Amino acid sequence: MVFRHKEAKLVTISAVMPTYARTDLVFERGEGLWLTTVDGRRFLDFGAGVAVTALGHSHPHLVAALKAQAEKVWHTSNLYRIAGQEKAAERLVAHSFADTVFFCNSGAEAMECALKMSRRFHQAQGFKEKFRVITARGGFHGRTLATIAAGGQEKHLDGFAPMVDGFDQVAFGNLNEARAAVTANTAAIVVEPIQGEGGIIPAAPEYMKGLRAMADEFGLLLIFDEVQTGMGRTGKLFAHEWSSVTPDIMALAKGLGGGFPAGACLATERAAQYMTPGTHGSTFGGNPLAMAATNAVLDVMLTAGFFETVQAVSAKLWSKLEAIVARHPKVFESVRGKGLMIGLKCKVPNNEMVSKLVAEGLLTVPGGDNVVRLVPALILGDAEIGEAISIIDRVAGQMAA
């Protein structure tokens, strides 16, 4: 503990508000999938800053784009047109179900926009009673008051009462429960195509189809939270592309700016028709720097063959992980997820596994349901796969012993 004296008062809280239990590592630089600490230790990064640095660290195209923009103009506000924002929006629209995009800075804000839009869609049509949103248990949508209510997890809500009203939680994957939760007050349904923080739990394609049909039958808006699953993470630009289902609204963030804070809420024209001037806003959202990073990410991801390569590399990683899981039945239960959004379901405590992997030089992220998340940059190669596999194999061996 660090003690500091501040005006005659003994202060014991760290200057950085202690809302995280941080691992004692300080990184100085990164290149590709490798991070180096200030004291020169190298780590293989399969956490990617919680599924954010989708193109690795210091990607030359991203660095060049951000540097070039930094020398022109950083921020102008949404009082003016922003060329990079228009370009990024047009590209996201061209490559998705959506007709329009709102830019913000984080996943929680993207979800906040989605939730507000779903209320306004009904209320602007005179249905003032429609505001409730059906959400899935185990879901995660951010840490604002509304999104912790949407996520409904006790550990996130504790001490922050009263809970924002308007969320009805049902079991993830259960269509009957979702249908039974619909009332005259329901405005929308929210689901992650693969629950991320909840422990890398994929939604079955029939469940996604069922939710779409249900939304259409009851006149509800279907919202996909693709903050973690989006931007190529599963081997397609958006995870819902693996099913035949499209949402009315979708939240993006994490990989969108490749490490520069950027979020987006995409919607069909129908869902967004009442989002007129003055209804929503963000001072920073979609500023020139964020859009330079976002457009650079899109330049790389929209290059022909990019997703085929991601799918091929994930297939290699998956086959090696499946072999490891089979080799260490006392340590691992299964491997699940899609593409490079991978959960190792453990039989040993996941936090212990994550710490031991760090000690051997591999960074991963713990998730719900006793899972270790592997969410490496999409530019992963054979060398990094080999290195990660040998570390996981070694640690699993130690833990089995």
Residues that bind ligand PLP (CB under 6 A): 106-108, 111, 140-142, 192, 196-197, 225, 227-228, 253-254
Q: Is 175 left (phi over 0), alpha (psi -120 to 50) or beta?
A: alpha
**Could you please report the per-residue DSSP string of 327-355?**
H-TTTEEEEEEETTEEEEEESS-HHHHHH
Name the minimum Å distance from CB 154 to ligand PLP. Answer: 18
Q: Omega of the bond prior to 18 within 30 degrees of 0, cis? A: no
Nearer to ligand PLP, 245 or 399 (CB): 245
Amino acid in position 363: L
CA-CA distance, 69 to 136, in Å (whole number)?
Answer: 40
Nearer to ligand PLP, 313 or 375 (CB): 375
Name the minimum Å distance from CB 204 to ligand PLP. Answer: 18
Nearer to ligand PLP, 266 or 331 (CB): 266
Name the minimum Å distance from CB 193 to ligand PLP. Answer: 9
Do the Cβ atoms of 251 and 265 come closer than 8 Å?
yes
Name the minimum Å distance from CB 267 to ligand PLP. Answer: 16
Name the minimum Å distance from CB 224 to ligand PLP. Answer: 9
Largest CA distance in the chain: 65
Closest CA to 152 of 161, 160, 140: 140
Name the minimum Å distance from CB 208 to ligand PLP. Answer: 15
Nearer to ligand PLP, 141 or 328 (CB): 141
Centroid of chain to Cα 186: 25
Work out whether the CA dihedral 110, 112, 118, 121 comes out positive or negative. negative
Name the minimum Å distance from CB 148 to ligand PLP. Answer: 11
Nearer to ligand PLP, 35 or 262 (CB): 262
Q: Which residue number has the CB closest to ligand PLP?
A: 107
Task: State the residue for tokens 């999938």.
Answer: 33
CA-CA distance, 259 to 381, in Å (whole number)?
Answer: 20
Nearer to ligand PLP, 135 or 370 (CB): 135
Name the minimum Å distance from CB 24 to ligand PLP. Answer: 22
> Three-state SS for 372?
strand
Nearer to ligand PLP, 45 or 225 (CB): 225
Nearer to ligand PLP, 151 or 328 (CB): 151
Closest CA to 146 of 131, 167, 117: 167
Q: Which letter, b or e, does each residue of 252-264 get, where b requires 16 or more Cβ atoms within 10 Å of its Cβ?
A: bbbbbbbbbbbbb
First CA to last CA across the chain, in angstroms?
A: 34
